[in-house]
Amino acid sequence: MTVTYQPVIGLEIHAVLETRTKMFCACRLVGSTHAEPNAAVCPVCAGLPGTLPTLNQQAVDYALQVALALSCEVAPVSVFARKSYFYPDLPKGYQISQYDQPLARNGRIQIHTEAGEKTIRIRRVHLEEDTGKLTHLTEGNQPATLVDLNRAGVPLLEIVSEPDLHSAAEVRAYAVAIHNLLRYLGVNSGDLEKGLFRIEPNISLRPLGNAEFGTRVEVKNLSSFRSLEQAVAYEIERQTAVLESGQAVSQQTLGWDEAAGHTLPQRSKEDAEDYRYFPEPDLPPLLISADWLEKARAALPELPQARAARFQKQYGLARSTAETLTDDPAVADYYEALTAASTPQAAANWLTGEVFAWLNQHGLGISEFPLEPAALAELVRLAAAGEINQNTAKTVLAEMLATGQSASAIVAERDLRQISDPAQLAAWVGETLAAHPEQVVSYKNGKTGVLQFLFGQAMRRSNGRAHPEALQAELQRQMD
Ligand code: ADP
Ligand code: MG
Ligand code: ZN
């Protein structure tokens, strides 16, 4: 009898909080790429002896927003702890984190996949500091490692899920949901490639129906949702093969080799006791008053899932469209401005169709789209009102993007107005039939396919301006 294995997966996500200054000092946050190495470093984040950390209130505010948005219980008292280990990117020899008394616990988030809707439980949300960055130089005869402490002490939020995920698709949906949430709250830039949003899946298998979990591995260094999904799928397959061959999965930390498409061992996993956790003596417990919590709750914006639900109701959009439009808050804002000056469904079609295609093609985000919502709305209105037909509208959009002219100016200047005048349509059809007598004969002999060709010819005579349905009807009338 063959055993069916169930994947069991829990995620640890580290998100850089985009505060003005670092977690425990006044150094500013600099983007990882633009600043000179060690340009934003002081004695505190360099870990010099005798310095003292001071907690960044903005980081706590941000963390509270996330905790509340995830429906967590926020601890009135939480405690920072030292997690000790030696590594050259960690000058203090320990990382300040939260351990047995985190800021928040027991939250949840809704995800949905093709298999349906699901609630994933959040185990904990806590604050910690980031480490520095090492650059290993391998060229030359003397290999060397450079240390950059710009990132040391940058605030991180760690979000740990319960092992409630059971497939690569669910893992992706969960990670995307958290990613969207943080972007909505404006606390994280969401840049995976720059390491500002890091996802580490813990993956194990167990015989389906077993209550007990199997041995897990943890995968590090995933820089896209795609590699996350691939790494999880790969591990499920690998562990299934290990178990089916009668061997045991060994607990370890793995890396993901993007190019090769497989995981590879990094180091065997430390247990918590290796870190010698103890309460940070230089920081008092973090007290969250009822008042502070209320302020954080009051400051919560409309969240992505709520916004998608509202879009469905208020604008009558299909669920998938509402979700596509609310994925990115900037897109949702653009849509609401666009629909205010046009109609909801037409606005949605243009935005998710032509505009998204253009942005994809140029590798740009909506904030870089050259047309203001009001300018695009004019085009959407002209098309919806039948002033220009759909194909012409696409040409006009391209022209707007190329020249910056308004839709109405382009339509007037190039005489693109849609023509529905029956006499005019009848004339174009008549001319077309006269020019193609052979096709007319074959149509009469039952080759109905030529109708498409004749329609195209008649449309061409109109310079693309003919009302398509009316032209089609007129063609049909003259052929019968
Ligand atoms: P740490 O990695 O620091 O030991 P935890 O033990 O809290 O932290 O677990 C980290 C993550 O691993 C959590 O998301 C949890 O849901 C998940 N997890 C724990 N046990 C398993 C398991 N057997 N299989 C898969 N995921 C697991
Ligand atoms: Mg871990
Ligand atoms: Zn500093």
Q: Degrees (nearest 5) of the Cα angle 359, 364, 366? A: 75
Ligand 1 center–CA 10 separation, angstroms: 6
333 contact partners, CB below 8 Å, separation of at least 6: none
| Closest ligand (CA of 198) | 2
What is the structure's pLDDT at 231?
A: 97
Is the CB of 339 within 6 Å of ligand 1?
no
pLDDT at 269 > cutoff 60: no
Is the CB of 162 within 6 Å of ligand 1?
yes
pLDDT at 271 > cutoff 70: no
What is the structure's pLDDT at 131?
A: 96
What is the three-state SS of 234-290? HHHHHHHHHHHCCCCCCCEEEEEECCCCEEEEEEECCCHHHHCCEECCCCCCEECCH
Alpha helix stretches (DSSP H) within 116-224: 168-185
- Of 327 and 72, the structure prediction assigns the larger pLDDT to 72
265 contact partners, CB below 8 Å, separation of at least 6: 252, 253, 254, 255
What is the structure's pLDDT at 198?
A: 96
What is the structure's pLDDT at 447?
A: 87
pLDDT-above-70 percentage for the chain: 98
Cβ–Cβ under 8 Å, residues 79 and 98: yes
What is the structure's pLDDT at 267?
A: 66
Residue 283's pLDDT band, with cuts at 50, 70 and 90, is: very high
What is the structure's pLDDT at 139?
A: 80
What is the structure's pLDDT at 142?
A: 84
Pocket mutation for ligand 1, best pick of 95, 156, 202, 267 (most atoms within 8 Å of C-beta):
202
Which domains, ranges and CATH numbers included, belong to the chain? 5-294 (no CATH), 304-413 (no CATH), 422-479 (1.10.10.410)
pLDDT tens, residue by residue, 352-374 = 999 999 999 999 999 999 999 99
Using DSSP bridges, classify how beta strands 80-84 and 94-98 pair: parallel, antiparallel or unpaired.
Answer: antiparallel
| Closest ligand (CA of 121) | 1
Q: Degrees (nearest 5) of the Cα angle 94, 99, 103? A: 120
Q: Provide the angle, in degrees to the nearest 10, between the axes of the packed helices 168-185 and 57-69.
A: 130
| Closest ligand (CA of 11) | 1
- Of 397 and 465, the structure prediction assigns the larger pLDDT to 397
Ligand 1 center–CA 8 separation, angstroms: 10
pLDDT at 120 > cutoff 90: yes
Alpha helix stretches (DSSP H) within 132-202: 168-185
pLDDT tens, residue by residue, 428-464 = 999 999 999 998 888 888 888 888 999 999 988 888 8
pLDDT tens, residue by residue, 3-58 = 899 999 999 999 999 999 999 999 999 875 578 999 999 999 999 999 999 999 99
Is the CB of 11 within 6 Å of ligand 1?
yes
Count CA within 13 A, CB hemisphere, residue 258. Answer: 10
Instruction: Round to whole Å and give the CA distance between 457 and 219.
Output: 59
**How high is the mean pLDDT of the chain?**
92
Cβ–Cβ under 8 Å, residues 328 and 344: no
Average pLDDT over residues 186-196: 91
122 contact partners, CB below 8 Å, separation of at least 6: 70, 72, 105, 106, 107, 108, 109, 159, 160, 161, 162
Average pLDDT over residues 222-235: 95
- Counts of helices then strands in the chain (DSSP H, E): 16, 16
Radius of gyration of the chain (CA): 30
Instruction: Round to whole Å and give the CA distance between 454 and 476.
Output: 10
Q: Degrees (nearest 5) of the Cα angle 457, 460, 464? A: 135
What is the structure's pLDDT at 1?
A: 61
Atom of ligand 1 at shortest range from CA of 214: 23
Is the CB of 160 within 6 Å of ligand 1?
yes
Q: Provide the angle, in degrees to the nearest 10, between the axes of the packed helices 437-444 and 422-435.
A: 90
What is the structure's pLDDT at 38?
A: 95
pLDDT tens, residue by residue, 199-219 = 999 999 999 999 999 999 999
Cβ–Cβ under 8 Å, residues 74 and 289: no
What is the structure's pLDDT at 42?
A: 97
pLDDT at 126 > cutoff 90: yes
pLDDT at 303 > cutoff 70: yes
Atom of ligand 1 at shortest range from CA of 213: 23
Ligand 1 center–CA 59 separation, angstroms: 25
Instruction: Round to whole Å and give the CA distance between 160 and 108.
Output: 11
Average pLDDT over residues 336-362: 94
What is the structure's pLDDT at 270?
A: 58
Average pLDDT over residues 220-232: 94
Instruction: Round to whole Å and give the CA distance between 395 and 213.
Output: 58
Atom of ligand 1 at shortest range from CA of 215: 23
Average pLDDT over residues 413-419: 83
Is the CB of 216 within 6 Å of ligand 1?
yes
Is the CB of 202 within 6 Å of ligand 1?
yes
Ligand 2 center–CA 252 separation, angstroms: 10
Is the CB of 204 within 6 Å of ligand 1?
yes
Is the CB of 201 within 6 Å of ligand 1?
no
The answer to pTM > 0.85 is no
What is the structure's pLDDT at 221?
A: 83
